[in-house]
Amino acid sequence: MNGQGIGDVITWIVLLTLFAYLNREFEIWRMISEIETYIAAFKSIRDKAIQCTLNSFKEISLRNEQKVNLKIIEERLRKLIEISFIQPTDLDPYGIVGKLKHLVRTTDKTLESEVKTLIPFASKAEIENMKNLIGATQAINEIYKIVDHIYRIGRKFKSLWILMQLSALLPFITESIKAYESSLEAFSNGYPVGDSVGPIVAAKFIKRYGKDVRVKDVEEDTIIAEIPYKDRTIIIIKAKGPAGVVGRLDDAVEYALSIYKNIKMIITVDAAHKLESEESGSISDGFGVAIGGMGIEKFNIEKLATLHRVPLYAVLIKMSEEEALSVINKKLFEATDNALKNVERVIEERSNPGDSIILIGVGNTIGVTP
């Protein structure tokens, strides 16, 4: 091998090393620019959410012919969206559901009193819708801040792996943020959302079979109605609309089980997360309690059902995360009729005349009465 040959080999090695280095740098740059685009979009959504919430405060005050200081509201709102919910410790898991319930109720009550302080003249529905709006803004703000934090860490340490993981998760994060963003429109206008399918089915059942039936308030934001259906008694439980509330369904079930002695089954109707291959609005049956969230109500209803040996059935309406939080679409609204048919079928097939059945419409009852 002569000097020329060695020189060529060294040049090739240097070029290949340089190429590999530049390729990595280019990959990081490409990823950074992609993440930055998303972060810019998330930031604008966060700002839009704050603006939308502020506009809603303004609209409510205008509607009630009251004057509010928007600057004070904005300051308060910016603090409210930074509030954190601290999960109770699970070092000793015994009684954690009770602790969680207490914390959730405290958070809810405090947020309600905060909103009432800002707009004392607002109606119950307006206050609940504002609470929902603040909740959505909080969620958007949190997602934006976490994504921004991970991005900054990745950039600080020039870590391709951190950026790659973030980049891989961005489509899912965008789905979530899109869902929260589309909920702003529904909550600020008081329109039903995809998650309202459960209460819609319950409301339709009341409307169809219990026209003159009196609806009773049992727990806070929760109603109960006793409907006669094919020689059976159907006890409908749902959150009280049209405010954007989810009600206290577990407490209402406890109340119903203490009043009605012949309960043969509990049916929950709720929105369920669809898989990509599944169609929006498709209906499926299930066993157990179909309730999302933190699992407090699910746990309590399961406990009560086990105690009273009552079978638990569920009717699920499939939808995406975005559909669940945005204004209900035609497909999902029509799916509530199919879900109602399914509920009727479950009642007829799995119970006998003379039985009592609890039917729970699970979800946010925004824009749905009673």
Partner 1 sequence: MSLEKLYEIKKQWMPIYFILLIISIIVTLYLMLMYLYTANEDYVMYIMLSTLFSFYVGFNLVKLLRIKTPKYNYVKVLTCPECGYSMVKPMAKGDYLFKVEGECPKCKSSMHISALYKEKVKG
In whole angstroms, the minimum distance from the beta carbon of 298 to partner 1 comes to: 26
In whole angstroms, the minimum distance from the beta carbon of 63 to partner 1 comes to: 9
In whole angstroms, the minimum distance from the beta carbon of 277 to partner 1 comes to: 21
In whole angstroms, the minimum distance from the beta carbon of 334 to partner 1 comes to: 8
In whole angstroms, the minimum distance from the beta carbon of 23 to partner 1 comes to: 16
In whole angstroms, the minimum distance from the beta carbon of 177 to partner 1 comes to: 6
> In sequence order, which residues have a C-beta less than 8 Å from that of residue 362 and are 6 or more positions away?
198, 199, 246, 249, 268, 269, 270, 290, 291, 292
Are 224 and 215 in contact by the 8 Å Cβ rule? The answer is: yes
Name the residue nearer to partner 1 (CB basis): 236 or 301.
236
User: Angle 359-360-364 (CA atoms, 0-180°, nearest 5)?
Assistant: 155
Are 190 and 129 in contact by the 8 Å Cβ rule? The answer is: yes
Name the residue nearer to partner 1 (CB basis): 126 or 250.
126
Name the residue nearer to partner 1 (CB basis): 101 or 274.
274
Name the residue nearer to partner 1 (CB basis): 25 or 334.
334
Contacting positions for partner 1 (CB under 8 A): 37-38, 40-42, 44-45, 174, 177-178, 181-182, 189-192, 200, 203, 207, 241-242, 326-330, 332-333, 367-370
Name the residue nearer to partner 1 (CB basis): 57 or 255.
57
Name the residue nearer to partner 1 (CB basis): 135 or 199.
199
In whole angstroms, the minimum distance from the beta carbon of 304 to partner 1 comes to: 29
Q: Which amino acid is at 210?
A: G
Q: Which two tokens stand for residue 41?
A: 């979009």
Q: What residues does 312 pair with on adjacent strands?
A: 266
Secondary structure string (H, E, C) spanning 244-266: CCCCCHHHHHHHHHHHCCCEEEE
The Cα–Cα gap between 319 and 203 comes to 20
Residue with tokens 């699910």: 298
Name the residue nearer to partner 1 (CB basis): 338 or 369.
369
> In sequence order, which residues have a C-beta less than 8 Å from that of residue 294 and are 6 or more positions away?
100, 104
Write phi, then psi, for 214 (nearest 5 degrees): -85, 130
For residue 341, what are the CA distances in angstroms to 174, 210, 278? 35, 16, 20
Of residues 225, 232, 240, the one with CA closest to residue 265: 232
